[in-house]
Structure 1
Amino acid sequence: MIKVLIVEDDPMVGELNKQYIHQMEGFTTVKVIKESENVLPYLEDAAVDLVLLDIYMPKMNGLELLKEIRNRNANVDVILITAASDREHIQKAMRYGAIDYLIKPFEFERFEEAVLRYKGRRSKWIQKDHMSQRDLDSWLRPSSEASPLPAELPKGLTKNTLHRVHKAIQARKGETFSTEDLSDATAISRVSIRKYLKFLSRIQYLEETLSYGVGRPIYLYQTKEGQDHVLHPYL
């Protein structure tokens, strides 16, 4: 079991990341720490494999903490999860040894990709005391080929319903919308609408973002310009 420490001062975001980890097989959250100055003492005594770290933290920011983790040779890997999107922060994170960098708000699929890639790399790393060049190349340069588009609608989706969903999206005229917005507009359940929106995001017709506001974070969607052609084979 891969032990994960979440370092996040926003309780809502920390809980969301904990829920994400809970969905991932082979991972467990050992603790959520809100104060960055408490991380180093915790790492001295606790067994932790992976740290999910925010940058914008009071007192000691995430990059300072990451640098100190490396200075102390702590045997942990770190993924940055932060709203910091400027080149300087990203470059420093890479130089200090972050293995991935997620910019808030992010989609669950990107989170899943990051932790599963880490799991795969870690598995290869601990299985061998020595690695061939081929082993090392596959570890350093994992395949990044995009999944091919499905030849037909996924099971459970229908052309008639997709057409209704598409018309409701077109009526938004490029404005962002939520699952609930489209459910109200089409009189289709939110569970069903969510399946269609995930499919439309997968084929790159919609852009999906996670919005943090008051209460529970919600997914927002918006059509991508010039992507109408990707939908035509399914209508």
Structure 2
Amino acid sequence: MDYIDVLVVEDDPMVADIHQNYVNSVDGFRVVGMVDNGLKALDFLRKRPVRLVILDIFLPGLDGLGALERIRESGSNVDVIIISASRDKATVNKTLQAGAFDYIVKPFAFDRMKAALQAFRQVVHRLTEGPNQVDQQDIDNLLLARNKKNIQTVLPKGLNPNVLEKVEALLTKVDKPLSSVETAEAIGVSRITARRYLEYLVASDKAVMEREYQEVGRPINKYELIR
């Protein structure tokens, strides 16, 4: 099998190991290196070119955005998938303008990464197989393959699809973000249970979480569906 070699750039060792296990579990991919900052990533790529980089944004020294910009300046044909906790629109825009193949927000479900890798593999296949010349239909199919994310949702153990449906229905009906307490009271479950389902929706890229800061006390996490 021809593998797509992957470099993981992540400063949290536990998260890096998770990324490695996820990537290696998808057919056709293998992690050949892991480094913890942008400068080490650039040095690695000079010595051992790869086809894909899994890149965090918040890194010590040279951050992910700086590393991505230097990769592009070097003329390397390596592609990059960003996996980061950063939800800042300006950061997302800069990474996409710099040519990132995809942007995945932490925390995320494995299916989201798997879908991104499968889409990338399909694009690589379309660009490397067959005749060198392409027509408009070929280009349209290429762009469709790049943007298509067939994510099949399998609920983690302990989550009930009926409760999940109630949570999603509630978030769909209201016109404002809800906390886990508000969600729990509305559907008749405990706050901890409500939070598990809300966090699952965030990890599945179906909802977003924002912190609402109070004049006193700790901030409150509020959740809203992505519409």
- TM-score normalised by structure 2 residue count: 0.68
Match of 2:72 in 1: 70
1:120 aligns with: 122
2:58 is aligned with what amino acid?
Answer: Y
Kept in 2: contact 1:3–1:27 (CA 8 A): yes
**CA distance in 1: counterparts of 2:149 and 2:28, whole angstroms:** 24
Quote how far apart the aligned CAs of 1:141 are: 2.4
- In structure 2, give the amino acid aligned to 1:209: A
Alpha-carbon shift at residue 146 of structure 1 (Å): 6.8
Correspondent of 1:207 among 194, 201, 204: 201
Aligned residues: 178
Extract unaligned runs of 5+ from structure 1: 155-160, 179-200, 211-222, 226-235
Q: Corresponding residue for 2:17?
A: 15
CA contact (8 A) 2:37 2:63 kept: no
State the Cα distance separating 1:136 from its structure 2 match.
Answer: 0.6
> Could you tell me which of 132, 135, 147 is aligned with 2:135?
132
- Give the Cα–Cα distance (whole angstroms) in 1 for the partners of residues 117 and 150 of structure 2: 18
Give the secondary structure class of the aligned counterpart of 2:32. Answer: strand
SS of the residue corresponding to residue 177 of structure 1 reads: helix
Q: 1:163 & 1:97 partners in 2: Cα distance? A: 40
Q: What's the CA shift string for 1:95-154, capped at 9, x where partnerless?
A: 1000100011111111111110000000000113121111111111237487899xxxx9
Q: Distance in 2 between matches of 1:10 and 1:130?
A: 43
Secondary structure in structure 2 of the residue aligned to 1:141: helix
Matching of residue 100 in structure 1 with residue 118 in structure 2: no
1:17-53 Cα offsets, whole Å, 9 max, x none, are: 0010121011000011012211112111213000000
| 2:178 is the alignment partner of 1:175 | no
Deviations along 1:60-91, one digit per CA (max 9) or x if unpaired, are: 11011100000001120000000111110000
% identity of equivalent residues? 30
Q: Distance in 1 between matches of 2:152 and 2:129?
A: 31
Deviation at residue 57 of structure 1 after TM alignment: 0.6
> What letter corresponds to residue 203 of structure 2 in structure 1?
T
- Offset of residue 172 of structure 1: 2.9
Paired residue secondary structure (2:112): helix
Matched with 1:189 is none
Q: Which ranges of structure 2 fall in alignment gaps of 5 or more residues?
A: 155-159, 166-186, 205-222
Conserved? CA contact 1:55–1:63, under 8 Å: yes
Distance 2:90 2:161 in 1: 43
Partner amino acid for 1:171? V
Aligned to 1:61: 63
Residue 177 (structure 1) shift: 3.3
How do 1:31-46 residues align onto structure 2 when only pairs under 5 Å count?
A: 31-46=33-48
User: How far 1:171 moved relative to its partner?
Assistant: 3.4
In structure 2, C-alpha distance between the alignment counterparts of 1:148 and 1:26, rounded to whole Å: 19
**CA distance in structure 1 between the aligned counterparts of 2:20 and 2:151, rounded to whole angstroms:** 27
TM-score, scaled to structure 1? 0.65
